Amino acid sequence: MQQLFRCLWVCFIGLASTNLVIHHTPPLQMHSIDSDLSVIKLVAKLESIEHQLAVLQEDVQEVISENQEIQQQRIVALKETSNMLVKLQEKILAQCDSVGKHLITIGNKQIDRLENVISEMEEAIHDMLLMEIETISIRSCKEVSNKGLGKYILRAHYASVPFVGYCVADKFNGGWLVIQRRMNGSLSFNRTWAEYRNGFGYADGEMWIGLERLYQLTSIQPWELSVEMRSFAGVYKYARYNAFAIGSEEEQYRLRTLGAYQGTAGDSLSYHKGMNFSTWDQDNDVKDEHCAKKWGGGWWFKACYFSFLNGIYHNIFGRDAYKIDWQSFSSIGISVYTVYAQNPHAPSMVSAAVRFDGERLLAKFDDMRHQFLELQQDVQDQRQEIVKIREEFVRLENKSQEEIVRKLLHDSNSIPSISKELQQAQHQVLSNLSRLQTTVAEIVDMQHSASYWFRSCKETPLKISGKYLIRIPGEPMPVVVYCEQDAFSGCWLVIQHRFDGTLSFDRNWQEYRNGFGKLTTTRDCELLVELKDFKGNHKYARYSLFTIGSEKEQYRLKSLGAYRGTAGDALKYHKGIMFSTKDRDNDEVYGEDAICGSLLLETPAQWCFML
């Protein structure tokens, strides 16, 4: 339209100019009426066209203004939409972050709780098993009967961990512990320092008991040593020493003590007295060449040996230089030998039945340790899953705004997809945690079914005073208690014991609550109190019935049966009274502001008080 307007305008200007030229041409002086009329008509027509163009121009300008206004409105709408999308994106990211953090927090809390449960259970089982092992273990093989040959649980003085040892009762008057044995060459003795330190093999087969264990056994007082040997020709001989002890690892397990020799094999060990132990990876001999590496086994080498019981085993008759050797006995090799150690100062007792319980208990202990290792691995796996989920949320959070907007504009399923992804991750974590909880429950059930816990001191198989595991009905875990098996025909559970004042009894309510437990809620119990003054006078008080209430009842002294004894009945006065501590006043004396548990200044303790 604008081009047409320009064209008509140019044409109008051109015609006007032509009209002026024609009008001023001197030679042409013709003024016809028709020509004038034509020009007038043309001018009128052009003026009409000019008017129409002006109107048209106004219409076009109006359309342009309307279009600009519409475009401006669209720009504003797009900006508002963009702002809405940005806010929506921020809201989604905030929700993703909130859900992710919440999920991770829940997962971490549950895993932390499971790890705490596992640690507590592991520690409790370890302590309880050690308590049980202590009641059935022996200090030396002299405690077994003459027919008690076999594996036993031994716990030497100052040894931190019990071990399974093989006791022999039919050699040299009995009481011997096997510390080394070779019989068929099935076990290699060319081992590292760590292996010789910790021991290897099996108690009833080829074995080496371990240098550290030997040190623990002989560190208090020297033991005796016996070596039995048989050659390939069937000749039997022995060597015996009345004292034997080795040093600590800091001393390289030096052969510190070796007493007088007696026997038939000849003395081939005294040459090594005072020497440090050597292995192929730790050379402690006095020779330039590495004796342990050359001869293929660990020993107290000097330069190099007169005896070498850890040499290479040859299961054929021969004169190979690389062999098990005791030079004063046989030059053709030793086929079988056993080395025994004995503590001559240990007391003798008869306890043959301990052997079988010990093997069963250790087998159960190993099985539980295996279960816990698997459970701990599961926990680590779940922690890795939590880390992956956390990384995924970080990845989503770090996406650019343009990418989020584009995805929201072109993919309407993105929000449900993200939500579904979060739900799947949460479901997976909860499923894994549920599986862990099931595993924990199975282990707890396995512990509850353990046959080496007892319901009371009457059920303990060994009627010896000491610590036992008692499982109280209603309690999730057994407790370690002290059973008194000597006084008043035995079977007494010690619930309170004071003898030298080393332990403060001025405790708060929570400590008294946890210390007492609920020992008297499931069955009737008797109560026995033994007293001894500083002059050594002994008296006792015994009651035929004793029960206390729950914590809701403030552990009230609910029942107290008939008294008999020599100390006098000083407890009946407190019957029916609630328990009081320094932080909880349940007595009936001096009004509300006085607490009896805080008034006993000379010997602070808590008790059941009344006026």
Question: By CB neighbour count within 10 A (0-12 exposed, 13-18 middle, 19+ buried), where does 370 fall?
Answer: exposed
Q: Six-digit token pair at 551?
A: 């914590």
Could you tell me if residue 44 is inside a domain? no
Kindly state the average pLDDT of the residues 48-56: 74
Residue 120: count of CB within 10 angstroms of its CB: 11
Distance CA 91, CA 99 (A): 12
Of 34-38, 193-197, 415-419, 502-506, least confident by mean pLDDT is 415-419
Per residue in 499-534, pLDDT tens?
A: 667 678 788 887 777 774 444 444 567 888 888 888
Distance CA 70, CA 345 (A): 111
Q: Six-digit token pair at 355?
A: 């052997």
**pLDDT reported for residue 499:** 65
Per residue in 154-193, pLDDT tens?
A: 876 644 577 888 888 878 888 889 999 988 888 999 999 9
pLDDT-based confidence at 434, cuts 50/70/90? low
pLDDT-based confidence at 433, cuts 50/70/90? very low
Distance CA 389, CA 397 (A): 12
Distance CA 452, CA 508 (A): 34
Q: From 350, 374, 396, give the residue that closes a domain.
A: 350
Mean predicted lDDT score pLDDT of the chain: 72
What CATH number is attached to the domain comprising 558? 3.90.215.10
- Structural domain of 246: 139-350
Could you tell me if residue 41 is inside a domain? no
Of 117-126, 145-154, 313-322, least confident by mean pLDDT is 313-322
Question: What is the DSSP secondary-structure string of 219-286?
Answer: SSS-EEEEEEEEETT--EEEEEEEEEE---GGGTT---EE--EEESS---SGGGTTPPPBBTTB--SS
Per residue in 595-604, pLDDT tens?
A: 565 544 334 3
- Residue 545 confidence (pLDDT) above 80: yes
527 near 542, Cβ under 8 Å? yes
Distance CA 59, CA 232 (A): 128
Could you tell me if residue 603 is inside a domain? yes
Per residue in 270-299, pLDDT tens?
A: 999 999 999 999 988 888 788 888 888 999
- Residue 132 confidence (pLDDT) above 90: no
pLDDT-based confidence at 234, cuts 50/70/90? confident
505 near 604, Cβ under 8 Å? yes
96 near 418, Cβ under 8 Å? yes
Q: Which helix (H) or strand (E) holds 369?
A: helix 354-397
**pLDDT reported for residue 224:** 92
- Residue 347 confidence (pLDDT) above 70: no
**pLDDT reported for residue 162:** 77
Residue 481, strand partner residues? 468
User: Count of domains in the chain?
Assistant: 2
Q: From 350, 371, 399, give the residue that closes a domain.
A: 350
154 near 165, Cβ under 8 Å? yes
Could you tell me if residue 512 is inside a domain? yes
Kindly state the average pLDDT of the residues 13-37: 47
The position carrying tokens 């989920």 is 389
Give 23's contacts (C-beta < 8 A, 6+ positions apart).
none
Kindly state the average pLDDT of the residues 569-583: 90
Alpha carbon distances (Å) from 183 to 44, 198, 462: 140, 21, 36
Residue 244, strand partner residues? 223, 258
Kindly state the average pLDDT of the residues 416-436: 50
- Residue 605 confidence (pLDDT) above 50: no
3-state secondary structure of 589: coil
Could you tell me if residue 597 is inside a domain? yes
pLDDT-based confidence at 344, cuts 50/70/90? confident
Per residue in 351-361, pLDDT tens?
A: 433 444 455 55
3-state secondary structure of 551: helix
Per residue in 235-266, pLDDT tens?
A: 899 999 999 999 999 999 999 999 999 999 99
Of 354, 259, 268, 280, which is closest to residue 309 (Cα–Cα)? 268
561 near 526, Cβ under 8 Å? yes
The position carrying tokens 């090799």 is 333
3-state secondary structure of 558: strand
Distance CA 120, CA 416 (A): 42
Q: From 308, 325, 350, give the residue that closes a domain.
A: 350
Could you tell me if residue 475 is inside a domain? no
- Asked whether the bond before 304 is cis by omega within 30 degrees of 0, the reply is yes
Residue 527, strand partner residues? 543
Distance CA 49, CA 42 (A): 10
Give 221's contacts (C-beta < 8 A, 6+ positions apart).
245, 343, 345
Could you tell me if residue 319 is inside a domain? yes
Alpha carbon distances (Å) from 322 to 280, 292, 553: 15, 11, 79
Question: What is the DSSP secondary-structure string of 421-466?
Answer: HHHHHHHHHHHHHHHHHHHHHHHHHHHHT-TT-BSSGGG-SS-SSE
DSSP state of 209: -
Kindly state the average pLDDT of the residues 341-368: 57
Of 308, 277, 282, which is closest to residue 295 (Cα–Cα)? 308
Could you tell me if residue 263 is inside a domain? yes
Distance CA 129, CA 477 (A): 13
**pLDDT reported for residue 17:** 40
Distance CA 389, CA 425 (A): 7
Per residue in 193-233, pLDDT tens?
A: 999 999 999 888 899 999 999 998 888 777 899 999 888 88
Phi/psi at 10 (5° precision) = -65, -45
Per residue in 89-123, pLDDT tens?
A: 777 777 766 776 776 777 677 667 766 766 666 66
- Residue 428 confidence (pLDDT) above 80: no
Per residue in 303-312, pLDDT tens?
A: 888 888 998 8
